[in-house]
Amino acid sequence: PTTGFRDCPPLPAGADPARWRCEVHTAAPVLTIGKVTVRLAPITMTHAEGPLPDGGDGQVWGAMHSTPTAVPGVRGLAIQPEYGGRSDFYTGTFSLRFRLLGRQLAPGCTIGATAPVDFRLKRSGPSTWVSQDPPLIEFSAYDDTFAAPAAERCGPLAPLVNHRLGLPAAEGNLMTYDASYTFKTYDRLPRIPAR
């Protein structure tokens, strides 16, 4: 999914629009949790970053867009990542929940429903500048240290779903993440009011 810069969040009060940039990331993750490996549909994430008036580094979350992906080998089951409420693009940490979709599952069936799955992505190599104007940077990252909790809120099929997916799984999980991002400074974006 491509969203352009429409999800750029408002800047914190006192932030300099010329020194803050809105970044739009598009990723094609491959997720191994428990016993399944899924090449997820592309994910788009938008956030802002720049210096705070006190000199510290600031970040503001914008939005995430994703679509469901069929889970291989599990007929009628799809998985869709959702923002888990925490992100730090300076350190590569963020959290996700994974909604499970199927005709016989309860609507809230989710891996990470109570506590989201926390990722700490490590770069697989250097970033590559594909274009300067507009800026386009590609990079790859991975996390092989996260734990995958059991799916919750799935209704009476929860034990079967968790058995089929091999959840919970404390180890053996992997997310690889091939991504690109672009950015604009806020002084080059249409006016977005401060928070």
Record the pTM: 0.91
Report whether pLDDT(163) > 90: yes
Over residues 89-112, the mean pLDDT reads 95
For the chain, the structural domain boundaries read 21-188
pLDDT digits (tens, 9 = 90+) for 28-52: 999 999 999 999 999 999 999 999 9
Take residue 24 and report the two structure tokens written for it: 């739009």
Q: What is the mean pLDDT of residues 120-142?
A: 95
User: What is the C-alpha to C-alpha distance for residues 33 and 175, in angstroms, rounded to an integer?
Assistant: 8
Distances in Å between the Cα of 148 and the Cα atoms of 35, 43, 46, 137, 154 are: 11, 20, 25, 30, 16
User: Quick check: helix, strand or coil at residue 124?
Assistant: coil
CA 168 – CA 154 distance, rounded (Å): 14
Q: With 90 as the cut, is the pLDDT of residue 193 above it? A: no
Is the confidence at residue 192, as pLDDT, over 90?
A: no
Which residues, other chains included, contact 194 with Cβ-Cβ below 8 Å and sequence gap of 6+?
10, 11, 12, 13, 15
